[in-house]
A and B are shown apart, each in its own frame.
Chain A
Amino acid sequence: MSEVNSNSEMVDRIVSRRARLLPVLGLFLIIQQFAHFANGEGDRLVDDFRIGAWVVMILLILALLTTGGAWFRSAKMRAMIDDESARANRTKALSTGFVCTILTSIICYVMRGAWEFSVGEVIHLIVTAGLGSAVFRFGLLERRDLG
């Protein structure tokens, strides 16, 4: 097998894997939101650990969404993985995430009298809606392009 084909096949595999992973991650983020509300906010050590783990997870997913992932691959391969069509899909996905963030913020603001949410819970909800929808859309667009 030539180097050209093996490079291209490797890029293809990584792009396919990312396209399969991202919608699942988006759904996981949204489903995980229900678990967060079921457990509620506490001031025990385990609750601090849970919030810390959530922040780390959010930062990792945000990094995956904005950089395209494949951090341990060569610069040439990363450029092929995160090429023009991937960047176009990301722009559309970030636009979806922005709209979902604004809509969730408006809903939280309008419903503030009816729902008794803490500041932490509202932030959790807004971040999850924005990032979850963006990651989910990015994954769907990538899957569509793979055919």
Chain B
Amino acid sequence: MTDPFATLVPPPTAPPRLGPTDVSYVLEDTAVGRMLLAVRDDGRVVATAYAADDEAVARWLQRISDALSPRVLRHPGPTDAVRRALEAYLSGRAHDVDVAVDLVLARPFQREVLTTLRRSVGYGHRTTYGALASASGHPGASRAVGAALGGNPLCITLPCHRVLPAAGGVGGYAGGPEAKRLLLELEATVSR
């Protein structure tokens, strides 16, 4: 049966206007790839994550929905501050992405490692997975540290790109090795 109403209801014109709610996010094309920036209602940043394709976007949004609140809406306004901070860092004007963060998406071990990382490895400096494992009180756990950094919900903001394999090379990175190299070069150039 054909839909007898198809011609009667004109095509809808615009999606609903809903104000910012528990979580606001945007997708931002940056020099190192497309990133998902998510901010909770108190202004703290919960994600600055690489999201190259729609599947990755959906995965991050579902993680946010499960961990924090399913009231997740696309809204540029609340993410302005983190967008500007990220832009300042990537252009070399700032030495860190200066925002308040909430590690609600990280597991407890991940939280420990990431907090230690932010505190102990400054701009232009580098460390190894093994050294970071020792610094966060888990000597020998370099593989676990690597895995924890691989799932970093706050890439760049919590600088997991400064952690390299002891054996040389740049190692893995959520945004791809090319992005990692670019960030390391940026920091090397600016701090010189």
| A, B bound | no
